Structure 1
Amino acid sequence: MTELAEGPTHIGAKGSLAYWNREFQRIHSPTLRYGFSVVSVAIALGIAFILQHYGFRDVEVPVLTVAIAFATWYAGIGPSVLSVLLSLLFFDYFFLEPYYSFDISARDLPYFFIFVGWAAIVASFSAVRRRIEDNLRQTRDHLQVEVVERRQREDEIRKLNLELGKRAVELEASNKELESFAYSVSHDLRAPLRHMVGFSELLQRQATSALDEKSQRFIRTILDSAKRMGDLIDDLLAFSRIGRAETRKTQVDLGELVKEVVAEIGQDTKGRDIAWKIGALPVCYGDRSMLRLVVLNLVSNAAKFTRMREPAEIEIGAVDRNDNDVELFVRDNGAGFDMQYVDKLFGVFQRLHLPEQFEGTGIGLATVQRIIHRHGGQVRGEGAIDQGATFYFSLPKPQLAGERTANAS
């Protein structure tokens, strides 16, 4: 925090120093700029006279050249031109024969042109160097601003990462608390619910003759509701156990697993006309009991929602999504669903059909999603109303399953 607090002050001091340097190296007022040019040439002329007085010869050219360089450097192009003109005039008037005249003798004419060329070269080089340094200074200032902004962004990203880490820890703790709460509540509700069902059944058997049809219907409603609540609690307990249970990963032959599930479902769908189509299925790596529950839920849903179809068609197959994953699907020609509600399918107790149409508690697909996520895969659904549905789930191939499930846990 101290470093962050001192940062803006340090940057402000640097900016002030850079601004002072720029102000010192560049005179902004036009009057001062041209005045500086005149004064520079006048001082150079005075120095040349003094040096001549003490016996130094041919010093006027370097001295006036220095004045031109100073005027160009500190005052700019316009004052530089003025300093060149003044230097030429003074050089011609005071240092070339005939003296104190603007005429130039033939003997001194080359000397004069040499001075003109030298003055122009010095002025142009000074101007170019000044422009280059100005560009470099601007680039440096721009880079300093970018560095400061980048540090600020890095600090913000660091703070956001820390905050995100804290939120992730809090969310994980909240999820564990919710799972524990759901498990405890579901477990504790089973005993009073069993009492409710038991005593309602006793009352129904012992008081049937004393109750009229309306009262008996009330008791049947209590029993049906209690049994439905019992099913909900059992499914919620199973859903909570999936999040708490450890996965025992082994090689799983999905073809054999699907055959077992289809045989089990076939016992409950005797008398129905169901056309089963089972494709070649791969071997994967995962918890066999959990994956069996995934297949059982999906195939059970397909059998349930094709109850009104004659014949019902259920297809189970697999496709290679890429080099890392294999995707399995369960397709049916049943009631289907509206795709705008597809996100609700995998929520706990979320149903898109009335209980009178199709039984169920709305936990099956949520269980499927939790199991597949624990195996490092994804779940998705496609469908249309009265045109069937297809549910896909992906699993990592055996060589990547260990790493993927470790990250998912």
Structure 2
Amino acid sequence: MDVMQRLSRWASLSEPGLISFLFQTLLGLVLVLLFWLVDGALDYLLFGGNSFTSVLFAPDSYKDLALALFLVCGMLLYSRRAHRNESSLEKALQAALEEAQKERIKMEGIFEALGEAVSIQDPELRVLYQNPAHQRMTGENTGRYCYEAYRKQSEVCPGCHIVASFQDDKVHRAELGPEFSATGGWVELIGSSLKRSDGTPLYGIEIVRDITARKLAEQETAALNAALTHKASELQQVNQELEAFCHAISHDMRAPLTRVYSSAQELRGYREQLDDNGRFFVDLVHDGCIQMESLLDSLMVLCRVTEVEISCTTFDLVPAAQEIAAQLRQDQSGAPVSFITPERLPVYGDPQLLRVVLENLLSNAWKYSNKVAAPVVELGVLTTEQGESAVFIRDNGAGFDGTRAGQLFQPFKRLHTFREFPGTGLGLATVRRIVRRHNGRVWGESEPGRGATFYFTLPG
């Protein structure tokens, strides 16, 4: 059974292994024969006596021959075992090389599929690998030192991101401008490292990104921001000058206006001594002074809402609206106005400024509906198509041409004459300025003779 197993093993040997085994066996037999002959020759020369043939075939020589044969067989067995171990090691090494090759092909496939430019460098900063994206960006530089290939320098660049990663095992980033990069544009360099188990550097991995477009966009953004800052500064200066002008006008005009108004009041005491033309001009001066007084008051309100600091909080609009409505009922004659409100209408904003908004919108609603038999004014809230919550004030009064609604919010723009509906043309301009300061928007909808609705939003 042992012989059959050996024959089976011999048959399973590869051709080179079988030849090697036969050669070793033949060599062993030759060595045994030489040992036998040399041993016989020594015995014959040392001890003499019989012939060389009798000495060679003496019983003692057979013992030596058996010993030599045993030693040679042991050597052959050891050699065969060593050969088998070597063969298994070669197979394991070949398998490991094939696996490493597969991993290399897989990693190269991953790097080649990446849109990022990737290179791998050794601890001496010699380029070992570049994926196609890196080659297209910087050219073929495998085998060269990175600082020589990319920066045309003879030594390591100061602050090298790969060297820094070798030192602290962290990811380091750097940006290079057109004057230093190999691409002629702005690039971002990302360096990381792979190390052995003992912490010594093995490979440095570098990713290169072309950020020229981003840098140009940042430069354009910075230029636009600088321009906007300059424009904002100019606008702030203009607003300050406008506010100073409004204050000066309202202050300096009140003294002469008061004298004109007082004189008109005195002249009205002489109405009976004047003819119709005189009475007409006295009334005209008197009404003009009243209108000018209202205009100055509106200008002051407009200036105040521009310069006052906003202090926002959550509060209910309904109590303020009801208080304003009660005052309007006392001040204006005509048919009583039905004022409809919800139970609560919480908003987030500056209570003082939003009260000014309510005063202007409600006074307009009262004014433009006072010629209706049954005037109705409604305060409420709804959700717009954009998902915003919009506060609205609706009336059933005279209304206006909806195609000209944008003009209402411009200072001194009015769609009705002063004789039809008195006013200064600054109320809705003040409303728009307050709403814009709350980052909201305001608009109006109407048709002539069918009332008007004004909306405003408060994003906070």
Give the TM-score normalised by structure 1. 0.57
1:240 matched residue in structure 2? 303
| From 238, 241, 256, the counterpart of 1:177 | 241
* Alignment check: 8 A CA contact 1:305 1:358 kept: yes
* Alignment map for 1:10-409 (pairs within 5 Å): 151-206=215-270, 208-269=271-332, 271-320=334-383, 326-396=389-459, 401=460
Structure 1 residue 325, shift from structure 2 partner? 5.8
Residues in 2 aligned to 1:270 and 1:203: alpha-carbon distance in whole angstroms: 27
| Separation (CA, whole Å) in 2 of partners of 1:316 and 1:228 | 29
Distance 1:203 1:251, change over 3 A: same
Amino acid of the structure 1 residue aligned with 2:369: T
Q: Taking CA–CA contacts closer than 8 Å with sequence separation of 6 or more, which of the two structures ends up with the larger relative contact order?
A: 1
Are the structure 2 counterparts of residues 244 and 158 from structure 1 closer, same or farther at C-alpha, using a change threshold of 3 Å?
closer
3-state SS, counterpart of residue 269 of structure 2: helix
Measured against aligned partners, the alpha-carbon deviations of 1:198-254 in whole angstroms (never above 9, x if no partner) come to 123223425x45432212222221221122111111111121122223345444221
Residue pair 1:280, 1:317 contacting (<8 A) in 2 also = no
Per the TM alignment, residue 353 of structure 1 is displaced from its structure 2 partner at its CA by 0.8
Gaps of 5+ in 2: 1-130, 140-182, 186-209
How many angstroms apart in 1 are the aligned matches of 2:294 and 2:338? 30
Contact 1:187 1:237 (C-alpha < 8 Å) held by counterparts: no
Q: Which amino acid aligns with 1:161?
A: N
Matched residues in 2 for 1:368 and 1:304: separation? 16
Pair 1:210–1:388, CA change in 2 (3 A): closer
Preserved CA contact (<8 Å) 2:345 2:380: no
CA distance in 1, matches of 2:290, 2:339: 32
TM-aligned CA distance change 1:144 to 1:328, over 3 Å: same
More strand by share: 2
What is the CA distance between 1:354 and its match in structure 2?
Answer: 1.0
Number of corresponding residues = 265
Question: Which is worse superposed, 195-204 or 151-160?
Answer: 151-160
Q: Secondary structure at the match of 1:201?
A: helix
Any unmatched runs of 5+ in structure 1?
A: 1-132, 402-409
Aligned partners of 1:189, 1:249: CA distance in 2, in Å?
A: 34
Residues 200 and 219, structure 1, Cα contact 8 Å, conserved in 2 = yes
Which SS does the other structure have where 1:252 is aligned? Answer: strand
C-alpha contact 2:438 2:458 (8 A) present in aligned 1? yes
Question: How much has 1:194 moved relative to structure 2?
Answer: 0.3
One-letter amino acid of the counterpart of residue 328, structure 2: I
Deviation of 1:144 after TM superposition, in Å, equals 6.1
TM, length-normalised to structure 2: 0.51
CA distance in 2, matches of 1:274, 1:204: 34
SS class of match (1:190) = helix
Aligned equivalents of 1:282, 1:177: Cα separation in 2: 38
- Given that 2:446 and 2:452 are in contact with CA atoms closer than 8 Å, whether structure 1 keeps it comes out as yes
The amino acid of 1:256's aligned partner reads P
Measure, in 2, the Cα distance between the counterparts of 1:267 and 1:181: 35
Identity of aligned residues (%): 36
Corresponding residue SS for 2:419: coil
Q: Relative to structure 2, which stretch is displaced further, 244-253 or 373-382?
A: 244-253
Distance 1:152 1:376 in 2: 31
Q: Which amino acid aligns with 1:336?
A: G
Task: Report deviation, 1:392.
Answer: 0.9
One-letter identity of the residue aligned with 2:457: S
Provide Cα deviations, 1:21-61, integer angstroms capped at 9, x if missing partner: xxxxxxxxxxxxxxxxxxxxxxxxxxxxxxxxxxxxxxxxx
Letter in 2 for 1:171: L
The Cα of 1:189 is off from its aligned counterpart by: 0.7
Per-residue deviation, residues 373-396 of structure 1 (Å, max 9, x unmatched): 333332121112222211111224
**Contact residue 440 and residue 458 of structure 2 kept, 8 A:** yes
Rate the CA distance shift 1:278–1:188 in 2: closer, same or farther, 3 A: same
Task: Please state whether the residue corresponding to 2:360 is helix, strand or coil.
Answer: helix
Distance 2:441 2:421 in 1: 26
Mapped partners of 2:249, 2:350: distance in 1: 27
Structure whose alpha-carbon radius of gyration is higher: 2
Looking at structure 1, the residues matched to 377 and 446 of structure 2 have their Cα atoms a distance apart, in angstroms, of 14
SS at match of 1:357: coil
Structure with bigger helix share is 1
Counterpart residue number, 2:89 = none
Distance 1:226 1:136, change over 3 A: same
